[in-house]
């Protein structure tokens, strides 16, 4: 009796439509939400100046990540500020975020690489 119900075309179509809708909803839930930038002190791009010049997130500031040089460059940042950091890759941005935290800046978010940052920030890019 159960097999007869599943073999009916309308029932199979209903199951297929349900599964399709479920997958669409599940996948859209995985899409990253845009981050709020209303209270951000700065968006820091850690790529080289030439990469930054080719394109960057609107409003970002460029502090190239070179160990020790980066720390010396950002020592004057507001310790109570909120910072988003992105770079050539997530590792570079992560090192920069760790360096900022070592200076006592606690509100730091690693956005990953430049492409990742574009997906989570509600800002355009300059080229």
Specify whether 26 is located in the same domain as 51. no
Sign of CA dihedral 30, 115, 34, 107: positive
What is the rounded distance in angstroms from the CA atom of residue 86 to the CA atom of residue 94? 8
Same domain, 17 and 79: no
Mean pLDDT of the chain: 78
Per the model's pLDDT, the better-predicted residue between 14 and 39 turns out to be: 39
Q: What is the pTM of this model?
A: 0.71
Give the whole-angstrom CA distance, residue 20 versus residue 83. Answer: 39
Q: Is residue 36 part of a domain?
A: no
Classify 62 as helix, strand or coil. Answer: strand
Give the whole-angstrom CA distance, residue 5 versus residue 63: 65
Query: Which CATH number is 47's domain given?
Result: 3.40.250.10
51 and 104 co-located in one domain: yes
Give the SS3 label for residue 13: helix
pLDDT band with cut points at 50, 70 and 90 for residue 101? very high
Note whether residue 48 is domain-resident.
Answer: yes
Q: Are residues 55 and 100 in the same domain?
A: yes
Does a structural domain hold residue 100? yes
100 Cβ neighbours under 8 A, 6+ residues apart: 44, 74, 77, 83, 85, 108
Residue-wise pLDDT tens digits, 68-78: 899 999 999 99
Tell me: do 23 and 46 sit in the same domain. Answer: no
């Amino acid at each position: 009796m159960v097999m007869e119900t599943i073999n009916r075309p309308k029932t199979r179509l209903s199951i297929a439509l349900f599964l399709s809708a479920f997958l669409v909803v599940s996948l859209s839930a995985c899409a990253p939400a845009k981050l709020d930038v209303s209270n951000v002190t700065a968006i820091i791009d850690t790529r080289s100046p030439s990469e930054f010049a080719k394109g960057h997130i609107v409003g970002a500031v460029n502090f190239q990540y070179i160990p020790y040089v980066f720390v010396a460059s950002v020592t004057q940042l507001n310790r109570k500020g909120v910072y988003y950091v992105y770079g050539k890759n997530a590792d570079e941005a992560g090192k920069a975020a760790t360096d900022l935290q070592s200076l006592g800046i606690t509100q730091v978010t690693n956005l990953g690489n430049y492409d990742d940052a574009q997906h989570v920030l509600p800002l355009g890019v300059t080229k």
